[in-house]
Amino acid sequence: MRRFSARTFIRRSPAEVFDFIADHRNVPRVLDGVSRWEPLGVKSRGAGARYRVEMRTLGLPLRAVLRLDGWRRPERISWVSEGGLIPQSGGWTFTARDGGVELELRLAYEPPAAALGNFVAGRVESLVKGRLEAALERIRAELEESR
């Protein structure tokens, strides 16, 4: 498994930041490369909600089904993949601090094809990490400017 994380500080309450992240419609707006993040079924919030996800990395479409396996408002949201080429898991944590919230995004994934996958993942990882850091910055800017 390969792992990485990104974090930012937002001058809003943990509940406000949690609610922004919990709204699946915000994902394609803030995360470059995501073309689809749609609920499967009627449940779109809380543990057990499932999403059909599609993103592009290096021009290749990557599709998956993600299931929320952790949901504790306003502290954390986590997920695991149920399908797709790249098994993954991840989560958001919301930690109250200094009149705001420290928002952290963690991601773990298993590259396909063992050694070759690890070689390619090493090249792609900086691109993906950059996208995640940019998304956190967009979230911070949007929430702090909407005050």
pTM, whole model, 2 decimals? Answer: 0.88
Based on the number of CB atoms within 10 Å of its own CB, is 70 exposed (0-12), middle (13-18) or buried (19 or more)?
Answer: middle
Q: Cα separation of 53 and 24, whole Å?
A: 11
pLDDT of 117: 53
Question: pLDDT value at position 129?
Answer: 82
Low-confidence ranges of the chain (pLDDT < 70): 58-59, 112-124, 147
